[in-house]
Structure 1
Amino acid sequence: MKSITIAAVLIACFMVVNCNFLSRKCKCKAVSNTVHFPFHEWDQSSCKFCSCSDPAMVNCQAACKRIVEDYSKSGCGKVIKGSKIKHKWDAGNCGEGISTEEYTCA
């Protein structure tokens, strides 16, 4: 019984440190260049029981950049022409951020 409790505590600590290693997700958003209001968002990829070195997590930022760049070239949906957007990505605890590069909606 004591070993089960210790194992449960170790698993809980591992999950806190490594976030949700059971199901990691790479999320992407096209946000305004000033107040970072989201115009559109995508769930790019996910992986079960993967580490931060998994390609789905490593390539999260680059994939998000390409998606938002294409989104801007297609006119950004119903966003006003000429609006400026940036890409924002979140690969869970593996990394997140917002670009400094801006894209103009066609």
Structure 2
Amino acid sequence: MKLFLLIILTFLIAANANPISRKCTCKAVSNTIHFSFHSWDISSCKFCSCKDAAMTNCEQACKTMVESYANTGCGKVIKGSKVKYSWEASTCSSGVSSVEYTCA
């Protein structure tokens, strides 16, 4: 029985449905081909569900990060470039925004 549980847990982790450790990651991507300009690890949690604040607020936190990134010039990106935010909250949610931000 213990071996069976170990096999199931290994399968879940290998299938990227890691119930032990979840992460919220964020990227500033180009508005056309979604090429990544910059990325951030925003939060993580151990043994948490998709209802944990670190996962439910992932998109909003990413939006705020990319908005600030654009307002401060997007690093070495050409002025006037447009970026979107892309987020992934482990297996809980992910996506690319439809909102575009212009690099200052």
Q: TM-score, normalised on structure 1?
A: 0.89
CA distance in 2, matches of 1:17, 1:35: 27
Q: Which amino acid aligns with 1:28?
A: C
Query: Where do 4+ consecutive residues of structure 1 move more than 3 Å?
Result: 9-18
Q: What is the correspondence of 1:17-96 to structure 2 with a 5 Å cutoff?
A: 19-96=17-94
Identity %: 57
Q: Secondary structure at the match of 1:62?
A: helix
Unaligned runs of at least 5 residues, structure 2: none
Root mean square deviation, CA, Å: 1.6
Of structures 1 and 2, the larger Rg is shown by 1
Q: Secondary structure at the match of 1:93?
A: coil
Unaligned runs of at least 5 residues, structure 1: none
Is the 8 Å Cα contact of residues 84 and 100 (structure 2) preserved in structure 1? yes
Residue 21 (structure 1) shift: 1.4
- Deviation per residue, 1:24-78 (Å, 9 max, x gap): 1000000000000100000000001111000000000000000000100000001
Residue 23 (structure 1) shift: 1.1
CA distance in 1, matches of 2:67, 2:13: 34
Residue 7 (structure 1) shift: 2.7
Residue 92 (structure 1) shift: 1.0
Larger helix percent: 1
